[in-house]
Structure formats: structure tokens, C-alpha cells
């Protein structure tokens, strides 16, 4: 059985999105700065169907994050759109257009049932309404021997951490202070002491930490 791997970009003051998130500003005020380290990378651009870009010490982090992943899990807020039940007349289909960058089954944790959404490039979004453990079980079933990645956001991340289900955690810390927003690790308490630091990679725009369960 593969691991459950969690990766996320976080500010120095512990936020994974800025204040006042909305459909028009999904990462909140200043939140785009969390990801400035990744946008110029050739490895990131290729994943999103773009040519060119640079190679630096973060390249391995991006390549590692894509290797040996059989399924993706995310929270409803990360899938995005309006809150509450899905609108049959004008359904929200994610932030990523017709061909999202996952290219594998994605499991969206939500309170509101919905039929699977099939987009281009092998992207199938399945909506899971019976909790984080069910999502992990379903994701593991389709992932086979490969790992499952969980990509946020903060609310579901804290639930997975509290449940002790995350095997490896890649935190990419942007040296910025957002001053508010979606707070990671809030109230998770002692669950966090079960991780050991395996690797640190520092760049001017980001420091990558890899934690593994002891």
C-alpha cells in the first residue's frame, strides 16, 4: 500500500492562503506570493502544458511531488467555487479549465453529493461526502501500489493530521508574512510531534521541508 503524502506552500506566519478568499481571488490577498517560487520552474510549466522555464534546487521538489502518485485528494475549498450545494444549472468545475494538471483520479471532500466530473487528460473528480477516511480508502483503491497525494487546504489538512493519517509532509515555506487567511496546523496539537525532518532545501524564495512519520 502506498503512502499518503501531503504537500503545501505556507507562509512564515502559517497561512496557506491570504485573507478574504473568493471566487475572484481564490488564494486570498497576497496568497499568490506563496507560490512565486514554483511558477518560473520548467518542471511546473511542463505540468501545466507550457514550454520553457528554469531549473533550480526546487526542481527536484516538484519532480518528486509528481512521481509515483496514483490519486489526489483535496478539500472542497481547494476545488473552489461557491459554498453550499452544487448548482445543477451552473456547476463549478474547478479552477483549472478543461484540462487540469492532475491527470489522475481526484477525490474532493465535500458535504454535498455530486456525480463524478470527467474532464480532459484523465482528470476525474469524485465527490466524497462520508469523510476523510473514506476519501483515503477510495483513493488508495485506485492508486494501487502508488502513493496518494493530499494537496490541501488547511481545514482538511488539519483533520488528516489530527487523525494521524499522513505519512510524509512537504512544506514549502515562502519567506512572506500574510498576516491572516487560512491557517495551517491550528489546533492540531501533539499530532505534529510524530514527524521527523528528513530534508531541508533552501532557496531565496522558498525553503522546502520534508517531514516523515517517525
Residues near a second copy (CB under 8 A) are 12-14, 30, 171, 173, 175-180, 184-185, 187-193, 195, 197, 200-204, 207, 209, 211
Best CA proximity match to 119, nearest among 88, 146, 86, 97: 97
Contact status, residue 3 vs residue 148, Cβ threshold 8 Å: yes
- What is the nearest approach in angstroms of a second copy to the Cβ of residue 103? 31
Task: Using the minimum distance from each CB to a second copy, give the nearer residue, 86 or 209.
Answer: 209
- What is the nearest approach in angstroms of a second copy to the Cβ of residue 197? 5
Kind plus residue range of the DSSP H or E element containing 182:
strand 182-183
Strand 168-174 with 206-213, pairing = antiparallel
Alpha carbons within 13 angstroms on the beta-carbon side of residue 68 total 9
Task: Using the minimum distance from each CB to a second copy, give the nearer residue, 92 or 185.
Answer: 185
Residue 135's alpha-carbon distances to 33, 110, 210, in angstroms, are 30, 10, 24
Beta bridge partners of 9: 172
- What is the nearest approach in angstroms of a second copy to the Cβ of residue 134? 26
Best CA proximity match to 135, nearest among 90, 105, 96, 158: 105
Task: Using the minimum distance from each CB to a second copy, give the nearer residue, 1 or 192.
Answer: 192
- What is the nearest approach in angstroms of a second copy to the Cβ of residue 208? 10
Residue 5's alpha-carbon distances to 126, 165, 175, 188, in angstroms, are 19, 9, 23, 17
- What is the nearest approach in angstroms of a second copy to the Cβ of residue 141? 30
Task: Using the minimum distance from each CB to a second copy, give the nearer residue, 28 or 80.
Answer: 28
Task: Using the minimum distance from each CB to a second copy, give the nearer residue, 60 or 137.
Answer: 60
Amino acid at each position: 500500500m502506498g503512502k499518503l503524502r501531503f504537500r503545501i506552500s505556507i507562509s512564515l506566519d502559517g497561512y496557506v492562503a491570504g485573507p478574504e478568499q473568493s471566487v475572484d481571488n481564490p488564494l486570498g490577498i497576497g496568497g499568490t506570493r506563496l507560490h512565486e517560487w514554483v511558477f518560473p520552474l520548467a518542471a511546473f510549466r511542463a505540468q501545466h502544458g507550457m514550454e520553457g522555464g528554469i531549473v533550480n534546487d526546487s526542481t527536484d521538489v516538484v519532480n518528486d511531488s509528481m512521481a509515483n502518485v496514483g490519486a489526489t485528494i483535496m478539500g472542497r475549498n481547494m476545488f473552489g467555487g461557491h459554498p453550499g450545494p452544487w448548482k445543477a444549472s451552473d456547476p463549478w468545475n474547478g479552477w483549472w479549465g478543461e484540462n487540469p494538471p492532475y491527470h489522475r483520479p481526484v477525490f474532493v471532500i465535500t458535504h454535498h453529493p455530486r456525480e463524478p466530473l470527467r474532464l480532459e487528460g484523465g482528470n476525474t473528480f469524485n465527490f466524497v461526502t462520508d469523510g476523510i477516511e473514506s476519501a483515503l480508502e477510495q483513493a488508495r483503491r485506485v492508486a494501487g501500489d502508488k502513493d496518494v497525494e493530499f494537496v490541501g487546504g488547511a481545514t482538511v489538512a488539519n483533520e488528516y493530521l489530527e487523525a494521524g493519517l499522513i505519512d510524509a509532509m512537504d512544506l514549502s515555506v515562502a519567506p512572506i508574512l500574510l498576516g491572516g487567511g487560512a491557517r495551517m496546523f491550528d489546533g492540531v496539537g501533539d499530532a505534529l510531534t510524530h514527524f521527523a525532518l528528513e530534508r531541508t532545501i533552501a532557496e531565496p524564495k522558498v525553503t522546502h521541508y520534508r517531514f516523515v512519520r517517525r
